[in-house]
Structure formats: C-alpha cells, structure tokens
Amino acid sequence: MSAPQPARRINHRKLAVGLLLVTVLMFGFGFALVPLYNAFCRITGLNGRSVETVATAYAGEADTHRTVLVQFVTTTGSGLPFDFRPEVGSLRVHPGALYTASFYAANRSDARVQAQAVVSYAPGRAARYVHKIECFCFNQENFAPGEVRQLPVKFYLDPSLPLDVNVVTVAYTYYNVTPDGATAAARAD
C-alpha cells in the first residue's frame, strides 16, 4: 500500500474542518432558536405574547352595534392533577365593553400544587385586541391539597378589532410548575 497523497490529506482536513464548523453553527442556532421564537411572538402577537401586560386603565366606550363571540377553551398540561374548565363556554360581547369570565379549578391531588396558566388566541391576530385587566394567568397560583377556586378574568376587546373577526377563541392551558411536580402528579393517581 502506498502512503496517502498530500492532496488527499488536504481534502480530508478541509472536510473535517467543514463538518466541525457546521456542527458548531447548528449548536449555536439551537441555542438562539428560543430567544428568536420569543421575539417573533412578541412582534407578531403569536400565542398572545404581545398582550401579556396588564391593562392599567379601562376607559372604553362600547360599540353596541357590533357583537363578537368570545369562546373559552381550557386544558391542563401533563403532570397537573387538576379539573379546569370555564364556567361559561362562550360570551357574546360588544367591543369596548368590560366583561368578566369565571373559571373553575380544582386540585385533585393530596399535595400542594403550584400552577401557571398560559393563554393563546385564535385567530392569532386577535391577540393584540384582547385586553385583560385581571387574570389568573398573570401569576403562578398555589393550590392546597383538594382546593377548589373560582378564577375570574376581566377583559375587553379593543373596538379597533378588525371587522372581519367575529369569533375570538381564548385558550388557557394550566401547567404544573411545582418544584417537585412529578411527586404531586404521582400522588393524584
């Protein structure tokens, strides 16, 4: 057998350097993906990211000539031993008028549970027109074993909501954020 030729060694070295560079770039892109996604959501209103600030004042005038159906959908993330549902599945609202919706949450476990609700909207462009003054989704909630709560949400739709949006779906997902969440979920079974 003859020794590798110098040109082949250079090609192998270029290939190895190229593969290493691609690996480093892919690793860096993986780290940048979450902040990029969050920035994209804030800019576009996707998943309600742009509307998570509390509306500090309500001084709206209702558009009584227009009615929009607001639907409420609830789910729980895996590992959350909860019953969670809206008291009323939908409301017909006038943009600009203040409304309160109530949700039922019950901790079915024999352990303390810390939970956080995340909200999303459909259609996505409606997110910037839904203004919450009070919402259980603003903070993490601590539930005692077996505790049942009524959770209010005070909101209004901005009167500048596009006219072609006649239905807005507000979806809440409750997640278990208990520091020892797996233990609390296991005891619920």
Q: What is the pLDDT of residue 55?
A: 47
The larger pLDDT score, comparing residue 49 to residue 116, is at 116
Asked if residue 179 belongs to a domain, the reply is yes
Q: What is the pLDDT of residue 184?
A: 44
Asked if residue 25 belongs to a domain, the reply is no
Asked if residue 31 belongs to a domain, the reply is no
Asked if residue 113 belongs to a domain, the reply is yes
Residue 52: pLDDT band by 50, 70, 90 thresholds? very low
Domain that holds residue 61: 49-188
CA distance 189 to 187: 6
How many structural domains is the chain composed of? Answer: 1
Asked if residue 27 belongs to a domain, the reply is no
User: What's the DSSP call for residue 143?
Assistant: E
Asked if residue 131 belongs to a domain, the reply is yes
H or E stretch at 149 = strand 148-157
pTM: 0.66
- Give the residue-averaged pLDDT of 12-24: 84
Asked if residue 37 belongs to a domain, the reply is no
For 67, the token pair is 């009615």
Asked if residue 138 belongs to a domain, the reply is yes
